Amino acid sequence: MENSFEDLIATYIENKVGISEHFLSAELANNLKQNLLTLNQNSLLKSAGIGNSEKLSYDGAIRSDSIYWLDKKNNNTFENEFFTQIEAFILYLNESCYAGITGYEFHYSLYETGDFYLKHLDQFKNNPSRKYSMISYLNSNWQESDGGELLIHQLDNNQKISPTQGKTVFFKSDELVHEVLVTQNTRMSITGWLKSD
């Protein structure tokens, strides 16, 4: 587990974008994906908004995915296993990098064919509590023709990241503008933020 943590931190230091190819085990990724699909079949996902509770709006021309917030109150075995992993990573990050992370929030994200999310930053103008963004992908057998890449914009090197199962991406929420390119296949992830309130 610590190897995947170190992968995230080392690649983040090198390129401002941390990537671990196997942050989630194949078993956990499969279980989370099945849970997301079940939630979707039961019509429990909601259209994703833009902004936070103080300034929330919906605009399908900017963002067209659907989400479902993870919560310990759900008492879902696989979500709790995911939370345990995130809490271990936060402990490792705080001890090794003095990051000062005190909390987190995560949601499932589902993009159907044709969905996208235009360029944006993850930190709200009226609330700076989000410090790091983390995205863990749940897509097995993803092909380049499926699209749906995460495109991170940097001055000297735009980075296109394929959403392959088990991979986790990590970067500062207030620093890197990014977007999700149009997907040609069902695209699933758990997306969230490490926070300092």
Cβ neighbours around 130 below 10 Å, total: 22
Mean of all residue pLDDT scores within the chain: 91
pLDDT given at position 47: 87
User: In the numeric block, which tokens belong to residue 179?
Assistant: 């977007």
**What are the pLDDT digits (tens) for 133-149?**
999 999 999 999 999 99
Q: What residue spans define the domains of the chain?
A: 1-47+71-195
pLDDT at 105 exceeding the cut of 70: yes
Residue 103 contacts by C-beta under 8 Å, 6 or more apart in sequence?
Answer: 129, 194, 195, 196, 197
Residues 59-74 have pLDDT tens digits of 677 888 999 999 999 9
CATH number given to 1-47+71-195: 2.60.120.620
Tell me which residue of 195, 21, 11 sits closest to 103, measured CA to CA: 195
The whole-number pLDDT of residue 197 equals 81
Instruction: Say what the pLDDT of residue 135 is.
Output: 98
**What is this structure's pTM?**
0.92
Burial grade of 186 (CB within 10 A; 0-12, 13-18, 19 or more): middle
Percent of the chain at pLDDT exceeding 90: 79
How far is the C-alpha of 28 from the C-alpha of 34, rounded, in Å? Answer: 10
pLDDT of residue 55: 61
Q: How many other CB atoms sit within 10 Å of the CB of residue 103?
A: 12
